[in-house]
Amino acid sequence: MAPGAPSSSPSPILAALLFSSLVLPLAQAIVVYTDREVHGAVGSRVTLYCSFWSSEWVSDDISFTWRYQPEGGRDAISIFHYAKGQPYIDEVGTFKERIQWVGDPRWKDGSIVIHNLDYSDNGTFTCDVKNPPDIVGKTSQVTLYVFEKVPTRYGVVLGAVIGGVIGVVLLLLLLFYLIRYCWLRRQAALQRRLSAMEKGKLHKAGKDSSKRGRQTPVLYAMLDHSRSTKAASEKKAKGLGESRKDKK
């Protein structure tokens, strides 16, 4: 490279600064979680849950701030603030004496309860958390809907239907296996009974064959004896006949 010519590659220091400015804030960004929406009935109470994730340990200087934007309104007002271990509730606004702190920073919980709900409470609530030095991140919002009577959620109905179907299927499977088990036991009992009967028949047939085997020589002996007796009697009769002829 010629002397005095400009460098074509960026400076290592500049690259490191760029990396730290882009990557480190993202890595340390605090993340806040709330429900998307909650439902409540007039005169009842509702809990607005707020939790967070932070790359830092929970600081003694941690703070929670809740803001409220009425339905159809443009401006959000602060209704609750927690700092230095103490909750600070709005004493002049719409939620005066109706907000209760139920969170616990040790468990990364910044939840509040709103009592005695009214239709005018409909709107969007925003939870903001700061955990120094982790203070960069987005807030989270939850929308409150107040009804005269809380409607049944579609998800609850769907879950109940799915649970009922699963229960019926499990019951049918249980009945199937119970019937199959009883049928197999009965088949096994019948098989044992048939085997016992076959063994008994074979044993009886063996006895009969042995008995017939013992009786056969006796029969042959009796036949031989009768034949010899008959032959002797015929011979004797023949001898008597010849002796009579000689006498004549």
Q: For residues 159 and 172, give the distance between their C-alpha atoms in angstroms, rounded to a whole number.
A: 20
Residue with the bigger pLDDT between 225 and 83: it is: 83
Report the 3 state secondary structure along the chain: CCCCCCCCCCCHHHHHHHHHHHHHHHHCCEEEECCCEEEEECCCCEEECCEEECCCCCCCCCEEEEEEEECCCCCCEEEEEEECCEEEECCCCCCCCCEEECCEHHHCECCEEECCCCHHHCEEEEEEEEECCECCEECEEEEEEEECCCCCCHHHHHHHHHHHHHHHHHHHHHHHHHHHHHHHHHHHHHHHHHHHHHHHHHHHHHHHHHHHHHHHHHHHHHHHHHHHHHHHHHHHHHHHHHHHHHHC
8 A C-beta contact, residue 65 and residue 128: yes
Residue 22 has pLDDT above 80, yes or no: no
pLDDT band at 195 (very low <50, low <70, confident <90, very high): confident
Cis amide prior to 133 (ω within 30 degrees): yes
The identity of residue 142, as a single letter, is V
pLDDT at 15: 53
Backbone phi, psi, residue 222, to 5°: -65, -40
Which of 31-45, 150-164, 167-181, 209-223 shows the highest mean pLDDT?
A: 31-45
8 A C-beta contact, residue 139 and residue 32: yes
The identity of residue 47, as a single letter, is T
What mean pLDDT do residues 129-137 have? Answer: 91
CATH superfamily of 27-145: Immunoglobulins (2.60.40.10)
Instruction: Centre a 10 Å sphere on the Cβ of residue 40 and count the other Cβ atoms it contains.
Output: 19
pLDDT band at 141 (very low <50, low <70, confident <90, very high): very high
What mean pLDDT do residues 118-122 have? Answer: 94
What mean pLDDT do residues 180-202 have? Answer: 84
What mean pLDDT do residues 162-180 have? Answer: 89
pLDDT tens per residue, range 150-169:
766 545 665 777 888 898 99
Boundaries of every domain in the chain: 27-145, 152-203
Q: Which of 7-11, 45-49, 52-56, 190-194 has the lowest mean pLDDT?
A: 7-11
